[in-house]
Structure 1
Amino acid sequence: MPAKKRQWPKQIEIYGRILRNDLRLEGDSVFVYTDAAERGETTSTAYVSTSGLYGIRAHPMPARTSGPQSTIVAELRAIALGFTKTRSAHPGHTVTILTDSLDALRYMRSWKSGETALPPGYSTAYRATGKTPTLIKLRNACRGTAA
């Protein structure tokens, strides 16, 4: 009898905060480290901040939504996740993003300077849930913030 193939959930989200007495915000800045990976039409994004916040998310990201540059889109989505969660937890603090993706950094810098280009093929249509696409929200947040 053949082994039964394991079924994974379509989406996994884990968020939390490392609780340590010696973990303190130094000055006005919170640093957020981000990364992403993809396999097929599944994307994983993660972040951890110097304030102890962390998040991991795995979800489907169809090619019709992300376009041919899905790796850059995944990296930008990781940045959006870390930036949004950290900024809402620490209003008034400067959020500095650290990423290993130079392409994602280039997009963020161009958005900060007023450019509007998105990765080729990225769908700007509102999602089925009615939500604004993540990269549109990130692009808008980059205007007037450090990238």
Structure 2
Amino acid sequence: MTIKPITIVLADDDEDDRLMAQDALDEARLANILHCVEDGEELMDYLHRRGRYTSLHNAPLPGLILLDLNMPRKDGREALKEIKESPILRRIPIVVMTTSKAEEDIYRTYDLGISSFIVKPVAFESLVEIMKALGKYWFQIVALPPASLGE
């Protein structure tokens, strides 16, 4: 079976976490494109193809969003709510990857429509294992809706 690379968007304000996620994706030997944004405002600009992302207007939307909850400007909870309220964006699977272990965050994000909640591991090797599992699950096992074009 040929696995088509799918764009993953990682919304995380921590540069080290973004770099570690990219390295883990590479180490997991996933051919997916990882695009990183630094906060919820930039995530929404990317998804709606606004500002510096207008050139992506005809590009397919991402197949998966990895979302940190605690970010400046617009946090992950606010971005999640906005995404799930959009008829065009709501089908994109969202996996929360955060340092939060608060039950309130787990309940609230599932209520808003996330697909999974993962507490960020501290060790790089654990992150590689998570990326491998995410890759296998999201890109080999489940059927995703066809990638629609940005608005």
Higher relative contact order (CA 8 A, sep 6+): 2
Query: Which structure's residues are more often helix, by fraction?
Result: 2
Query: Which structure's residues are more often strand, by fraction?
Result: 1
Same fold (TM over 0.5): no
Question: Normalized against structure 1, the TM-score is what?
Answer: 0.31
